[in-house]
Structures are given as structure tokens and as C-alpha cells.
Amino acid sequence: MSTEAVDATAAAHGATATVKMPQLDISTFDNQIFWLLVALVAIYMIVTRVAVPRIGAVLAERRGTITNDLAAAEELKLKAVEAETAYNKALATARAEAAKIVAAAKADIEADLAKASAKADAQIEAKTVVSEQRIADIRAGAMESVSEVANDTAKELVAVLGGKADAKAITAAVTARMKG
């Protein structure tokens, strides 16, 4: 529309001044309201028939994904708890087995040690008996040697002093002196 047409329309409606914006022209309000309602109904139909279902589908899909993910997470959490329980049980069993093995090994070592100790004690006892026998033999040999040396010394002393040595008397005197 040209400005002249707007002026003519305004003049026809009894307006004294010209309206510069056609949206504010009261004479076209009916037409503007009609098209506003048509546009709103069209937008409403497009939004309700196209946009809302698509948005609803996306939201439903997200809700489903979130629900599935939460369910999967809950299942994994339960499996993790079960795995932890099984791990702790296996660990306790392994520790108990290790304790049994250590106790058995300790008992075996103590038994072997007791056997070795008894064997060593028996060997020491046998060597002690043999050593005591040798010491007794050495003492007896020493006593005989002392006895012979004493007899020989007494005979020599009696001979040096000018006496006649009687072997039986010297042996009896040496034996009596050695007894105490």
C-alpha cells in the first residue's frame, strides 16, 4: 500500500492525521486479529504435531537410557560386591591354608630338630662313655707308670744310700704309700 492509500483510508474513517504504521490502524484490527489467530493455530498445530513428539521421543529415549544405565550400574555394583566378597573369602581361605602349611612345616622342623637333638645327645653320651673309659685307662696306665717309676726310684735310692734293695719290700712300701 502506498502512503496515499493509507491517507485515503484514514480520511475515510474520519481520522484527521495520517497513520504512519499500518499495524496501529484501528480499521485493520479485525483483519490483523484474524491472521494472528490463524498464525497461532498454525504454530500450535506445528508444535503439537511435530516438535513436541520429537522432543518427547528424545526425552523418553534419554529417560530409557538413563534408566538402563542405572540398572546396569546397579547390577555391576552387585557383581562388584559379590566379587569383593568372593575375593575376601578366597583371601581368608588362602591365609588359613598358609597358616596350616606354616604350622605343619614348623611341626616337621621341630620333630626333625628333636630327632637330631636326640641323635646328637646319644652320640655325645657314647663319646662321653668312650672318653671316660680312655681317661680311666690313662689313669690306670699312669698309676702303673707312677708305681714302676716309684719302685725304680726307691730301688736306686736304697742302692745309693748303701743298702741292699729287697724288691718285695720296696713294692709293698710304694703300694702302701700310694693308697694313702
Bigger pLDDT: 178 vs 86 = 86
Q: How far apart are CA 63 and CA 56, in angstroms?
A: 10
Q: Angle CA(10)–CA(15)–CA(19) in degrees, nearest 5? A: 55
Contact 25, 19 (CB under 8 A): yes
pLDDT cut 70: percent of the chain above it? 89
Of 16-20, 146-150, 161-165, 167-171, where does mean pLDDT reach its minimum? 16-20
pLDDT in tens, 91-108: 999 999 999 999 999 999
Q: Give the pLDDT confidence score for residue 23 in this predicted structure.
A: 77
**pLDDT, greater one: 6 or 123:** 123
Q: Name the residue ranges covered by the structural domains of the chain.
A: 3-179
pLDDT, tens digit, for every residue of 119-141?
999 999 999 999 999 998 888 88
Q: Lowest-confidence range among 18-27, 73-82, 97-106, 118-127?
A: 18-27
DSSP string, 50-104: IIHHHHHHHHHHHHHHHHHHHHHHHHHHHHHHHHHHHHHHHHHHHHHHHHHHHHH
pTM of the model: 0.41
Cβ contacts of 18 within 8 Å, gap of 6 or more:
3, 6, 7, 10
Q: Show the cell assigned to 164.
A: 741292699
Give CA separation, 177 vs 61, 124, 150, 165, 172, in Å.
Answer: 127, 38, 10, 17, 9
Whether the Cβ atoms of residue 166 and residue 142 lie closer than 8 Å to each other: no
Q: What is the C-alpha separation between 172 and 154, in angstroms, rounded?
A: 11
Q: How far apart are CA 10 and CA 4, in angstroms?
A: 10
Distance of CA 69 to the CA centre of its chain: 32
